[in-house]
Chain A
Amino acid sequence: MMNKTTKLFLSLLAMVLITSSCYKEESFYTEDYDLTITHYDVEFDFSTYKTFYITDSVGIISDYIKRGDDNWIAFYGRNGASVAVIKSVTQHYLDLGYTLLDSMKTNTDSADFAVNATMTLNEQTGYSYYPGYWYGYPGYWGGWGWGYGYYKGAKSNSSDAYYGGYYGGYYPWYGYGYSYTYKTGNLMLEMADGQKVRDMLRFLNQGPSYSPSDPDAPAMHYVWSAFIDGYQSGDNNVERVINGIDEAFENSPYLKHN
Chain B
Amino acid sequence: MKRTIIFIFAMVMFASVSFADGVPTKNNTNATKTIAAPSFDDDNFLLPDGYFNINYNLGWSVGQMNSYINTNSYRGFSIDGRKFINDNFTVGGYMSWTGFYEKFERKTYQVDESTTVTGVGTNTYYNFNIGMNVHYYPLKNGVIRPYIGVNLGPTWQTLSTQLGRFYIEDRSWQFMVAPELGVFIPFGAGSDIGINTGVRYNLVSFKNTTFGFDHGITYMQWFVGVTMEY
Which chain A residues have a beta carbon within 8 Å of chain B's beta carbons? 1-2, 4, 7-8, 10-11, 14-15, 18-19, 22-23, 25-26, 28, 31-42, 134-139, 141, 152, 184, 229-231, 247, 251-252
Closest to A39 in B: B115
Closest to B120 in A: A32
Q: A14 and B165 in contact (CB under 8 A), knowing A4-B19, A23-B74?
A: no
Q: B132 within 8 Å of A by Cβ?
A: no
**Chain A residues positioned under 8 Å from B55 (CB to CB):** 18
Closest to A154 in B: B165
Closest to B103 in A: A26
Contact among A136, A141, A247 for B127, CB-based, below 8 A: A136
Contact among B108, B164, B166, B229 for A34, CB-based, below 8 A: B164
Q: Is the CB of A35 within 8 A of B156?
A: no
Q: B226 within 8 Å of A by Cβ?
A: yes
Chain B interface mostly: strand
Q: B208 within 8 Å of A by Cβ?
A: no
Contact among B75, B157, B163 for A22, CB-based, below 8 A: B75
Q: B153 within 8 Å of A by Cβ?
A: no
Q: A136 and B128 in contact (CB under 8 A), knowing A2-B192, A23-B74, A230-B165?
A: yes
Q: Most chain-A Cβ atoms within 10 A of its Cβ — which of B99, B158, B192, B229? A: B99
**Chain B residues positioned under 8 Å from A8 (CB to CB):** 19
Closest to A152 in B: B167
Q: B97 within 8 Å of A by Cβ?
A: yes
Q: Is the CB of A33 within 8 A of B165?
A: yes
**Chain A residues positioned under 8 Å from B74 (CB to CB):** 22-23
Interface size on B, residues (CB 8 A): 46
**For the complex, what is the distance from the CA of A247 to the CA of B97, rounded to whole Å?**
40
User: Per-residue CB proximity of B116-153 to A under 8 Å, as 1/0?
Assistant: 11111010001110000000000000000000000000
Q: A11 and B228 in contact (CB under 8 A), knowing A28-B122, A136-B127?
A: yes
Q: B7 within 8 Å of A by Cβ?
A: yes
Q: A42 and B3 in contact (CB under 8 A), knowing A8-B19, A136-B157?
A: no
Which chain B residues have a beta carbon within 8 Å of chain A's beta carbons? 3-4, 6-7, 19, 21, 52, 54-56, 74-75, 77, 79, 97, 99, 101, 103, 106, 108, 113-120, 122, 126-128, 156-158, 163-167, 192, 225-226, 228-230
B166 → chain A closest CB, angstroms? 7
**For the complex, what is the distance from the CA of A38 to the CA of B164, rounded to whole Å?**
14
Q: Is the CB of A18 within 8 A of B56?
A: yes
B82 → chain A closest CB, angstroms? 14
The 6 nearest A-B residue pairs measured at CB: A35-B164, A136-B126, A23-B74, A32-B120, A35-B119, A36-B118
Q: A18 and B225 in contact (CB under 8 A), knowing A2-B192, A39-B115, A138-B4?
A: yes
**Chain B residues positioned under 8 Å from A35 (CB to CB):** 117-119, 163-166
**Chain A residues positioned under 8 Å from B158 (CB to CB):** 135-136
Q: Is the CB of A139 within 8 A of B117?
A: no
A253 → chain B closest CB, angstroms? 11
**Chain B residues positioned under 8 Å from A136 (CB to CB):** 97, 99, 126-128, 156-158
Q: Most chain-A Cβ atoms within 10 A of its Cβ — which of B114, B118, B163? A: B118
**For the complex, what is the distance from the CA of A139 to the CA of B7, rounded to whole Å?**
9
**For the complex, what is the distance from the CA of A159 to the CA of B93, rounded to whole Å?**
49
Q: Is the CB of A134 within 8 A of B97?
A: yes
Q: Is the CB of A41 within 8 A of B52?
A: no
Q: Most chain-A Cβ atoms within 10 A of its Cβ — which of B115, B119, B192? A: B119
**For the complex, what is the distance from the CA of A134 to the CA of B96, rounded to whole Å?**
12
**Chain B residues positioned under 8 Å from A28 (CB to CB):** 103, 120, 122
Q: Is the CB of B164 within 8 A of A15?
A: no
Contact among A15, A39, A231 for B114, CB-based, below 8 A: A39
Closest to B155 in A: A138
Q: Is the CB of A138 within 8 A of B19?
A: no
Q: Is the CB of A2 within 8 A of B228?
A: yes
A11 → chain B closest CB, angstroms? 5
**Chain B residues positioned under 8 Å from A23 (CB to CB):** 74-75
15 new A-B contacts at CB < 8 Å, known A4-B21, A18-B77, A137-B97: A8-B19, A11-B79, A15-B77, A23-B75, A33-B165, A35-B119, A35-B163, A35-B164, A37-B118, A40-B114, A138-B128, A139-B3, A184-B165, A229-B165, A251-B118
